[in-house]
Amino acid sequence: MRLRIAHSTTYRYEPPASGVIQILRMTPGSHDSQYVADWQIDVSTDSRLDKHEDAFGNITHVLTHGPLSDLTITVEGLIETQDTGGILRGTDERFPPSLFLRPTDLTDLTPAMEALVRELTPSAESDPLGYLHALMLGINAHMTFDTDPTSSGTTASEAFSLKRGVCQDYAHIFIACARIGGIPARFVSGHFWRADGANQQEAGHAWAEAHVPGLGWVGFDPANAICTTDAHARIAIGLDYLGAAPVRGTRYGGGMETLTVAVRVDKVSDRGQSQFQS
């Protein structure tokens, strides 16, 4: 599948901030199921973008700027994807899978989450892949997709208790429950093409990858109750959202901060024309 992606993030500061530092993880890499045919990143200010790779191999850009009242970060490009049944191949793996058993504040647990894990059949020990599929479906059934009650700082336990949240919350719950079963799991940020034609979205997408013996890393999208397909464009990974957030940083001075995000994901035909038109 050929996916044309446009993603913009705009910050407005009133009064103006005296300075900002932002780390951008908005640039995808190529691997066996994903080829980045074209990609560019642009910022509204006359700022230098220092490019490097972080510890997990994510392509990052560091932006620094002095006083400013607004900042817009835009990425756009074309990614060609392959459906591999969720199995990931050809990525630069810099750490052993066991690193992704490490708990984080955003992937905490409650007794209710542990009870869900105990009720799953098959168990993580006897059939890891079957367990992960059951876990994905169980979380999807437990949760209702709702953009109102949670934020980027909501923990897995909080979202599970609310029974509501967004794709980030679904992924955090999945990761926490996979790890308690002894299965390494990690957070993935990216984009998702929706077959219902809803190509203009308010944010990017998030899912999880779990390490299955004999298969390696496999993508699970609990918000949609599917393994990853060629409709998923993978951008960055981390132990949780904080390690894979598209934009993360700090500002100095200023007052009220307003954030606006706009995402568009189009399926592109072989002739390079979008299936859906504005």
pLDDT band for 254, please (50, 70, 90 cuts): confident
Domains located in the chain, CATH noted: 2-268 (3.10.620.30)
8-state DSSP, 91:
-
Which backbone phi and psi does 245 adopt, to 5 degrees? -60, 135
Q: What is the pLDDT of residue 270?
A: 66
pLDDT at 271: 55
Residues 6 or more apart whose Cβ sits within 8 Å of residue 277 = none
pLDDT tens figures, 27-78: 999 999 999 999 999 999 888 899 999 999 999 999 998 899 999 999 999 9
Compute the average pLDDT of residues 109-130.
Answer: 94
- What mean pLDDT is predicted for residues 182-208? 95
Overall average pLDDT of the 259-273 stretch: 83
Average pLDDT of span 183-197: 95
Please determine, for residue 278, whether its predicted confidence score (pLDDT) is greater than 50: no
What does 94-151 look like in DSSP terms, one character per residue?
Answer: -S-GGGGG---GGG---HHHHHHHHH-SS-TTT-HHHHHHHHHHHHHHH-EE-SSS--
pLDDT higher than threshold 90 for residue 276? no
Predicted confidence (pLDDT) at residue 275 exceeds the cutoff of 50: no
User: What would the pLDDT profile of 5-34 be if each residue is shown by its tens digit?
Assistant: 999 999 999 999 999 999 999 999 999 999
| Predicted pLDDT at 272 | 47
DSSP letter string, 161-204: HHTEE-HHHHHHHHHHHHHHTT--EEEEEEEE--TTS--EESS-
Q: Taking 70 as the threshold, does the pLDDT of residue 266 lie above it?
A: yes
pLDDT at 209: 98
pLDDT, residue 255, reads 78
- Sign, CA dihedral 86-92-98-103, equals negative
| pTM recorded for the entire structure | 0.94
The DSSP call for residue 239 is S
